[in-house]
């Protein structure tokens, strides 16, 4: 299969492929998603095949308007309506109870709930409108690998496996959307993202559960990223917890007989002498830029096949830092550099 790359002014051609049951990757403000008609079971099944994704890992349904959510979900609560008004379009995914039989089990992982998102990207909103259907959209990468933040990343993983890619440049946020479960008695964040618990609580006036990110081996996850290995490059990632730990980390790196990768903010890169065997990748100046560049950095070192270990800066686990650390911990397998 030839994977065609469409520019943002070629949405109509990409939409025709979606409508015909083909797979087309699309941009959002967070990462690139792998799109298929959410009402076409055969197309949805091909998403799992193309990614190598476990079939019990549910998919997020991307919509262009609230009316589409209301076609499939149980009546939206007052709190959900407030959150939609405050954060859509944007990096907030919400899980709702479904009307019976509204979506196929291939979309929901066999659950009676589904996750919905209204992405903040005009090209993709136009894609959904012109395809006349909501589209599923897991990250457009090989399952378990770092999520794609450019069309080039998608092409690297899925070239020849999907019909097309809608290219709208690099994404702005860089880590996937916040996933908020609105199907139970109390809102719960199942995956942290750019929309924080504090921001959600300020809108709805109630406490949001935040330590809900994992499920057991025999449980079906309600959202992506809760159960399976995610975001891992070929190299082993070591998290450097504090800026003061970097001299020791770099001394250890210098003692290794192989090339090493270093992902850190500009101040750390400027204030520490990198050993000759280390290649650097800048995470910018703060947690916002680091979140945007994290997956790009991990993918960069995947192309440097001789690099087997990567040292990467941590951030405080709050606000956007909670999303960054969630992804970094998973990419590292919870492995931290020990002084």
pLDDT, one tens digit per residue, over 182-194 is: 999 999 999 999 9
| Interior angle at CA 156, CA 299 and CA 239, nearest 5 | 15
327 is in an annotated binding site: no
93 is in an annotated binding site: no
292 is in an annotated binding site: no
117 is in an annotated binding site: yes
Q: What is the pLDDT of residue 4?
A: 98
113 is in an annotated binding site: yes
pLDDT band at 224 (very low <50, low <70, confident <90, very high): low
Give the start-to-end residue ranges of the domains of the chain: 4-204, 236-332
57 is in an annotated binding site: yes
Find, among 125, 138, 132, the residue nearest to 64 by Cα: 125
Find, among 28, 283, 245, the residue nearest to 135 by Cα: 28
Scan for tokens 């969630």, then name that residue. 326
Mean pLDDT of the chain: 93
147 is in an annotated binding site: yes
Whether 219 has a pLDDT exceeding 60, the answer reads: no
129 is in an annotated binding site: no
pLDDT band at 14 (very low <50, low <70, confident <90, very high): very high
Secondary-structure class of domain 4-204 per CATH: alpha beta
Residue 51 φ/ψ, nearest 5 degrees: -85, -20
Cα separation, 109 vs 48, in Å, equals 11
In 265-304, beta strands by DSSP E: 278-282
Cα dist. 172→60, 133, 150, 206 in Å? 19, 25, 10, 29
3 is in an annotated binding site: no
Q: What is the pLDDT of residue 212?
A: 62
**Mean pLDDT across 17-26:** 98
User: pTM value?
Assistant: 0.92
Residue 92 φ/ψ, nearest 5 degrees: -125, 120
Whether 216 has a pLDDT exceeding 90, the answer reads: no
Query: Higher confidence at residue 311 or residue 214?
Result: 311
Scan for tokens 């020791």, then name that residue. 248
Residue 127 φ/ψ, nearest 5 degrees: -60, -45
Q: What is the pLDDT of residue 143?
A: 87
Question: What is the DSSP track for 312-338?
Answer: EE---SSTHHHHHHHHHHHHHTT-B--
* CATH, range 236-332: 3.40.50.11030
Task: Return the half-sphere exposure (C-beta side, CA atoms, 13 A cut-off) of residue 172.
Answer: 9
53 is in an annotated binding site: yes
pLDDT, one tens digit per residue, over 257-315 is: 999 999 999 999 999 999 999 999 999 999 999 999 999 999 999 888 799 999 999 99
> Is-contact 22 43, C-beta < 8 A?
yes
């Amino acid at each position: 299969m030839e994977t065609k790359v469409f520019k943002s002014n070629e949405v109509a051609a990409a939409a025709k492929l979606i409508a015909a049951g083909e797979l087309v990757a699309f941009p959002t403000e967070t990462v690139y998603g792998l799109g298929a008609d959410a009402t076409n079971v055969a197309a949805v099944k091909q998403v799992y095949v193309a990614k190598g994704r476990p079939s019990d890992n549910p998919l997020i349904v991307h919509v262009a308007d609230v009316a589409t959510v209301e076609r499939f979900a149980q009546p939206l609560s007052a709190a959900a309506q407030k959150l939609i008004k405050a954060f859509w379009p944007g990096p907030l995914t919400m899980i709702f109870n479904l009307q019976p039989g509204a979506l196929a089990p291939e979309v929901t992982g066999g659950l009676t709930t589904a996750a919905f998102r209204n992405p903040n990207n005009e090209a993709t909103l136009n894609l959904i409108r012109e395809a006349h259907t909501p589209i599923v959209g897991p990250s457009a990468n090989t399952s378990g690998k770092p999520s794609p933040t450019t069309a080039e990343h998608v092409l690297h993983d899925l070239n020849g496996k999907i019909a097309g890619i809608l290219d709208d440049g690099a994404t702005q946020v860089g880590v996937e959307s916040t996933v908020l479960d609105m199907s139970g008695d109390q809102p719960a964040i199942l995956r942290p993202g750019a929309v924080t618990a504090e921001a959600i609580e300020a809108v709805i006036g109630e406490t949001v559960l935040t330590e809900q990110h994992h499920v057991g081996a025999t449980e079906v996850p309600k959202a992506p990223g809760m159960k399976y290995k995610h975001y891992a490059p070929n190299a082993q990632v070591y998290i450097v917890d504090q800026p003061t730990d970097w001299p020791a980390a770099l001394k250890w790196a210098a003692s290794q007989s192989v090339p090493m990768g270093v992902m850190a903010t500009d101040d750390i890169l400027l204030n520490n002498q990198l050993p000759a065997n280390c290649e650097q990748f800048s995470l910018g100046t703060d947690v916002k830029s680091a979140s945007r560049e994290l997956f790009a950095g991990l993918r960069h070192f995947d192309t440097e096949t001789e690099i087997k270990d990567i040292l990467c800066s941590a951030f405080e686990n709050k606000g956007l830092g909670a999303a960054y650390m969630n992804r970094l911990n998973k990419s590292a397998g919870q492995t931290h550099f020990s002084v």
